[in-house]
Amino acid sequence: LFLILLHIPHVSQKKGGVHKRGIVGFLFFFLFFFFFWFLFYFILLLNFNFFLRSFQWKGAFAVTFQLWFMSVVHICRHGQDEDNFEGLLNGRRDRPLTQLGREQASTLAQKLKERGMTYDIILTSPLKRANETARIIGEALSVHVETENELVEREFGVLTGKPIAQIRAYAGENVVQGDKVLYFLSVDGAETFDECYDRAARVLHRVDTTFAGKRVLLVCHGDIGKMLLAVKKKITWREGIMLPYFDNTSVLET
């Protein structure tokens, strides 16, 4: 249509006091305006998260902007798995939920349903304990579930599968006492909290750009869940691990 209008011959004769050339010009202007408005909107939609984080907009306009474009993100930890039950550090060990863990997921799904909570999509870690939790919730709420690989738990390195009581034996004094949990900062083969925090930021950026304006439930794990919340709160990873304990099937509303 754009090209057709460009090649319409200019007609200078008047018809009822109106130039046909004027009508063509008006249509050309309208299409020109619409094209650039759409282009601006598309670019803004792709990059709004950058604008918000870079310029730290405040005030009523920022609130309105976020309501229009930012996704609403809730963060859920998986139900009890076999390592939780046995007091072992799971990390990326792929063990399933216990019977209690499945009951916890079902109970959470029922509570969400009773509260009228709904989501446009559920994104889950690829590990069994999170995936199973997500699918129990998704089935109860009739919400589609997709796997997001970067929601996987922090890599625990040589501590994977070891008893929680052995953290100090491997990490020495390189630990931080959080709320109910002793966090190791680095051991051989482990992902650092800096790396985990950066990964959480990437996930949230993708969620905001891919699911702008949608309600999203992220089903994941203790350490990555804390980092997701820290990024959302715009605090450091050190402040993040001091946040309240993230229990099985807890839901954090960001």
Is 77 annotated for ligand binding? yes
Does 144 qualify as catalytic in the annotation? no
Is 19 annotated for ligand binding? no
Is 66 annotated for ligand binding? no
- Cα separation, 174 vs 188, in Å, equals 12
Burial 126-156 (b: 16+ CB within 10 A, else e): ebbbbbbbbebbbeebebebeebeebbbbbb
Task: Check 7, 19, 74, 78 and give the catalytic one.
Answer: 78
Is 10 annotated for ligand binding? no
Q: Which residues pair with 161 in a beta bridge?
A: none
Q: Return the DSSP state at 127.
A: S
Half-sphere exposure of residue 239: CA atoms within 13 angstroms, side-chain side? 8
Is 80 annotated for ligand binding? yes
Residue pair 70/212 in contact by the 8 Å Cβ criterion = yes
Is 81 annotated for ligand binding? yes
Does 239 qualify as catalytic in the annotation? no
Residues sharing a CB contact under 8 Å with residue 156, sequence separation 6 or more, in sequence order: 89, 90, 91, 92, 187, 189, 190
Task: Check 132, 153, 191, 221 and give the catalytic one.
Answer: 153
β-strand pairing of 175-177 with 182-184: antiparallel
Is 102 annotated for ligand binding? no
87 burial level (CB within 10 Å; 0-12, 13-18, 19+): exposed
**Binding site as annotated, residues:** 77-84, 129
**Binding site as annotated, residues for substrate:** 77-84, 129
Catalytic residues: 78, 153
